[in-house]
Structure 1
Amino acid sequence: MKKLTMLFPLLCLTLALTVPASALEYSIDGPGDPEYGKSTSIEPVITADRGELPNVDVSKNAALIPPTFGSPTAYTLNTGNPLTPNLAPGYMLGEGTVISGNTGVTVAPPDFNSIPSGIVSNGGTTTGGTATPTPSTGYTEVTSDLYYSGGYLAVLKIPSLNVNVKVYEGTGSSILAKGAGHFEDTSIWDGNACFAAHNRGTNAIFGQIHTLETGDRITLTTKEGTRTYSVTSVNKISETDSSLLAPTAENCVTLFTCVRDQRDYRWAVRAVEV
């Protein structure tokens, strides 16, 4: 009996060694799709032609204060007063307003296709309406006798910004590398004289013109003489907006430069003769 008891474990061990070893077989299912829920993002509206996003300013500069509740335009889209009038595209501050500080009167750019009521025309008083008036505008053409010996047309000074720069004809990169440039299709003296310059780099002449305030002085010297102008508006406009290049009846200067990191916009400063 004792021998059988000892023989049995030995037999089991022998059988275990004779059975071929095999790997364990098992499978693990991968995780299912995570439950993130439905997206709450708002897809951008694209245009119907080529699918690109519309060139619209969506920054706070274009934000509007909604009309009064119950007013006729209360439920009309894109109506109201600009939240930041001096930065809103397409708006200008009226004369005498304060750009940095007190709120001024905001007026839309002038519309030369309409005549306000009360204007005397051909001996009679109009009641308002649409017309094609021919306002008396000033304009001085650039001629060879207006150039200085150094090849420049004018000297522009902005004392509050320590700007004292020579102005050359044209607004190309080679011109702006030398100083400020004069828009070729605008006046150089009477009416609206328009100039451009860089806002950054080693020649950032107009880099701070957006900080000018109402009343700051600008002087322009040409062979016609020297005039002093007072800043009346500082606007952020679209790069395609050319309305401020139009001739004017009053003598003024308009300065343009790029907006830092916003290639679709420009700073525009208007100053009127005092």
Structure 2
Amino acid sequence: MAIVQVENVSKRYRLGEQEVQALRDVSLTIEPGVFLAIAGPSGSGKSTLLHIIGCIDTPTAGRVLIDGRDVSGQTPDQLADLRARTIGFIFQTFNLLPVLSAEENVEYPLLQFPELSKHERRERVAHYLEMVGLAKFARHRPNQLSGGQRQRVAIARALATHSKIVLADEPTANLDRHTGESILELMKEINRRSGTTFVFSTHDRHVMNLADQLVHFEDGAIVGEERKAERDAPPAASGGDASTFAAGSGDLR
């Protein structure tokens, strides 16, 4: 079963006196464990689609199913528990709380889970900070960390809730190339090891190259879609080559 099913989704909103059509009849299936990139120019609707999948925003028309649950037409408050337990978010601006340490930032969303004891929360925090290579920086505040380290904290926070889906909105946009690539390789490794579904909005060619599924977006609509296997496949042999090989094989018999 698909982890996300977007069916004929449109989104309109008002900007002053003007009505903006952010999404136009978008349909998309996202399978569990995929590493998917949504690529397109600024203003094409990538972030709007991510916000709708993440239950931060709601569609004007169409419906969205998350892990088999129809979330269309429900308020953010109604979706709070699903969002907290199923979906993790990584933003280009990191969105860490500056007054909290790295470990406190990772623990913060876990405070919504009454079934977890303080000890269990701390164990999870330590596990995911270790996973992203920041165990020794646990007590550092964001202003004591580099951009790449802050993004690693954000990844640990997104995973600590045991999210099935991680939505990453331009996660490398504020990082230098080397740091951005190391962050992407980390997320790809987590995807391979844990089977967590990652969905990116991006301009980054490296993200597109790593993606199992690449969706091209333009003017609020999907204009193309391709799989990594299709992109990496060698060109098919022409019919003439096949005939020559067959003839040659016949001569050898």
Report the TM-score when normalising by structure 1. Answer: 0.27
Q: Which has the higher helix share?
A: 2
Larger radius of gyration: 1
